[in-house]
Amino acid sequence: MITTGIAAARRRRTAAVLTCVAAVAALTGCGRTVEGRAVQEGAGGAGASAEFTKLLTECDAVTDEQIAQSVGSDYVLRGFFGAICRWDGDGPTGPVKVTFNWFETGALDTEREAGERLGYAVENTTVEGRRAIQMRRPADPDSCGVSANASTAGIFGWWVQYAPGSGHPDPCEAAATLVRLTLNLSS
């Protein structure tokens, strides 16, 4: 019984110490200072495009039918929607994976730097007269990504990845077509 009493006293003392540590942490803060200016969600720049003002609706900027047609697929099925949007498709040239991303405060130069750090081949290009970049993974002719400045602020990009050796269309052209449709400048 004496051992039980000592163990109980130790538990109470440990609990008291942990409570004090938690209180000190709460008073002093456990965060860090972040430089810059806070920006309200959706206020990424000079006005907001109607396509990109509602959370997760940016994934609807291009219809599933347009995506399927752009990548030469019979259909696409929506997959994950969150920070990025994904579709899987299939058709005469085999399976295809399509990914869309949009960063309301992103910059094309930052996207370029990230691609270069990953060892991708990054090239300047234009889509509908707008500055864009095209990226390919090393030794992967079956996939390609194209990123461009959004119509008001931020950047967006499309990645198209076909199954290897499937006799598929050019993944860079498919990604560029999806960028054109997203810019809503094509007829």
Domains of the chain, by residue range, sit at 50-183
pLDDT at 37: 58
Tell me the CATH number for domain 50-183: 3.40.1000
Checking DSSP bridges between strand 155-162 and strand 121-127, what pairing results, if any? unpaired
pLDDT in tens, 127-168: 988 999 999 999 999 999 999 998 778 899 999 999 997 789
Give the model's confidence band at 88: pLDDT under 50 very low, under 70 low, under 90 confident, else very high.
Answer: very high
Above 60 in pLDDT, residue 65?
yes
Per-residue pLDDT, 124:
96
Q: Which residues contact 175 (CB under 8 A, 6 or more apart)?
A: 134, 144, 145, 146, 157, 158, 159, 160
Q: What percent of the chain has pLDDT over 90?
A: 51
pTM, whole model, 2 decimals? 0.69
The secondary structure of residue 64, as a DSSP letter, is H
